Structure 1
Amino acid sequence: MLLADGQFHSGTDLAKRLTISRAAVWKHVQALIALGLNFSAVTGKGYRLERGLELLSEPAILSNMSLFARAHLAALELHSQLDSTNRYLLAAASAKAPSGTVCMAEYQTAGRGRRGRQWVSPFGSNIYLSLLWHFQLGYAGAAGLSLAIGVAVIRALSALNITGVGLKWPNDIYCQGKKLGGILIEMAGESDGPCVSVVGLGLNCFLSESYAQTIEQPWTDLSKITGGQFVGRNRLAAGLISHLLSVLAEFEGCGIRHYIDEWRRYDVMHNRHAQLMIAEQAYTGIIRGIDDNGLLLFEHHDGRIQAYASGEVSFSGRDG
């Protein structure tokens, strides 16, 4: 991408290098703006991205991955645009794609979060990553996987000296009380036999204020956390893939209990007053961590502590 360097490029030069008209250049710039990119246009100078882009690169990602991860990586697919990386790999699973197939996209037209929510996915700004893995023991073999994946994400960030990041049950990445990323795991196959899991990860690297207006909860990105000293998307992608593959390769053999203590160290909800949504029913109480199976421990007003396998948790703003 000629404009990825964040420098000014004249319309004439762009038209010449792309062998298109000046009018066509303008149309292309408008299309990029629609993808979430911000431009400056100055007479006599041309067009400039307000911040440079580091586009995904297979050689750059592979060169920064661990040897173990490269041995377990079946395929790395990089796409300019997809509706959803998870949906793409679910289709690939039905075509017998092997464990270790990784898909990433620069832009998602229909990125998905939990409960069918839209995942804001501007072009070339964040991490939109999905990884396919087969489990032989059915859905039970993948129980608690989202918690283990959260641990893998924290490990990857810590290895890049990105600290102060925590986990919110069951699948959110948080920093300073704001959402940094999310995990979406989708399963297909037999409940008590071979099945496939698609692990989706969305992680905010840079979100413009204008593009994030549709986000309905406090959010942050790695640019804010690191004071603008972000390590780069390819190095980050390599670290994430490496740690995700490491966890997935051992998970069915050791299960969620292998990761429980580590997950608890990063729990941002422990002893916090919160609201728990179960279907359409709302409960208020205090989060008391997770049990040894990864279930949420929720203390109701009557002092009764109950374990929940699913639900939506939100902060109430008070400590317990």
Structure 2
Amino acid sequence: MDIHWFESLDSTQTFLINELKGGRLKGPVCVGALSQTMGKGSRGNSWIGAEGNLFISLAISRSDFPEDLKLESTSIYVAFLMKELLASYGSKVWLKWPNDFYLEEKKIGGVITNLIGETVVCGIGINLGSAPENFSKIDIEIGSVELTKDYCALFKNLPPWKQIFSKYRIEFENSRVYFTHNNNEKVALERAVLLEDGSLMCDSQRIFSLR
């Protein structure tokens, strides 16, 4: 996978989507920035960070993902790949449903996905060196360039969704003290049932990750 680095971008996600639509880049490809000024977060929030943190977006064809991975589960899949990589370095990071990276009870990053034609564009932001108020940063020393190189290498041989889900099912228990959003409403995860496609059943209502 080709990796393109920039000193600064408004948003790696917006930049990559525009490059794909303009035919200037095609997947599989990764775009990274040392700093980001107008990053995209979940539910339309911004994800702005200082130099030294991780700001990347990847474009991967849907056909390059495992056959048993549903589109709605992509955010969980790519986020858990990153979580497992960070854990291999010694981090205690965990994944809150569906795609937020947490260290203990504080968020340190997250994933956002978009579908452009038959290409999935995954944006990942993680606080590696610094964090704004009420957030935290990773508990290991790792640079954004090194982390990106190791993460992109994982896409040469992707594990099946079933393998990822078997591990995430256990980790999901950490999410039960939190809530998620569905149609702009908060939904408690205390009694949620995690289904095999990564969706949740909450009070007879099925909720998919839409990020």
Specify every segment of 5 or more residues in structure 1 that has no aligned partner in the other structure, as ranges. Answer: 1-72, 190-194, 313-320
Give 1:287 deviation, angstroms.
4.0
Give 1:232 deviation, angstroms.
3.0
Q: TM-score, normalised by structure 2?
A: 0.85
Q: Which residue number corresponds to residue 207 of structure 2?
A: 308
Give 1:172 deviation, angstroms.
0.5
The question of whether the paired residues in 2 share the 8 Å contact of 1:291 and 1:307 is answered with no
Percent of matched pairs sharing the same residue: 21
Between the aligned partners of 1:205 and 1:175, the Cα distance in structure 2 is: 12
From 50, 59, 64, the equivalent of 1:132 is: 59
Q: Which residue number corresponds to residue 151 of structure 2?
A: 240
Q: Which residue number corresponds to residue 94 of structure 1?
A: 21
Matched, 1:114 2:42: yes
Give the secondary-structure state (helix, strand or coil) at the position aligned to 2:190.
strand
- What CA RMSD, in Å, does the superposition of the two structures yield over aligned residues? 2.6
Rate the CA distance shift 1:172–1:268 in 2: closer, same or farther, 3 A.
farther
From 127, 135, 149, the equivalent of 1:219 is: 135
Runs ≥4 residues deviating over 4 A: none
Instruction: Give the letter for the 2:143 counterpart.
Output: G
Of structures 1 and 2, the one scoring higher in RCO (CA 8 A, sep 6+) is 2
Q: Which residue number corresponds to residue 171 of structure 2?
A: 266
Between the aligned partners of 2:80 and 2:180, the Cα distance in structure 1 is: 23
The question of whether the paired residues in 1 share the 8 Å contact of 2:52 and 2:143 is answered with no
The question of whether the paired residues in 2 share the 8 Å contact of 1:165 and 1:266 is answered with no
Q: Which residue number corresponds to residue 130 of structure 2?
A: 207
When the two structures are aligned, how many residues end up with a matched partner? 206
Deviations 1:140-169 (A, max 9, x none): 85331111112211221122222x221111
Specify every segment of 5 or more residues in structure 2 that has no aligned partner in the other structure, as ranges. Answer: none
Q: Which residue number corresponds to residue 201 of structure 2?
A: 297
Instruction: Give the letter for the 2:78 counterpart.
Output: I
Pairs within 5 Å for 1:1-320? 73=1, 75-96=2-23, 97-122=25-50, 124-136=51-63, 142-162=71-91, 164-189=92-117, 195-207=118-130, 212-213=132-133, 218-222=134-138, 225-226=139-140, 230-243=141-154, 245-246=155-156, 250=158, 254=160, 256-267=161-172, 269-270=174-175, 272-284=176-188, 286-298=190-202, 300=203, 305-310=204-209
Between the aligned partners of 2:46 and 2:20, the Cα distance in structure 1 is: 23
Q: Which has the larger radius of gyration?
A: 1
Give 1:307 deviation, angstroms.
2.9
Give the secondary-structure state (helix, strand or coil) at the position aligned to 2:35.
coil
Between the aligned partners of 1:148 and 1:285, the Cα distance in structure 2 is: 19
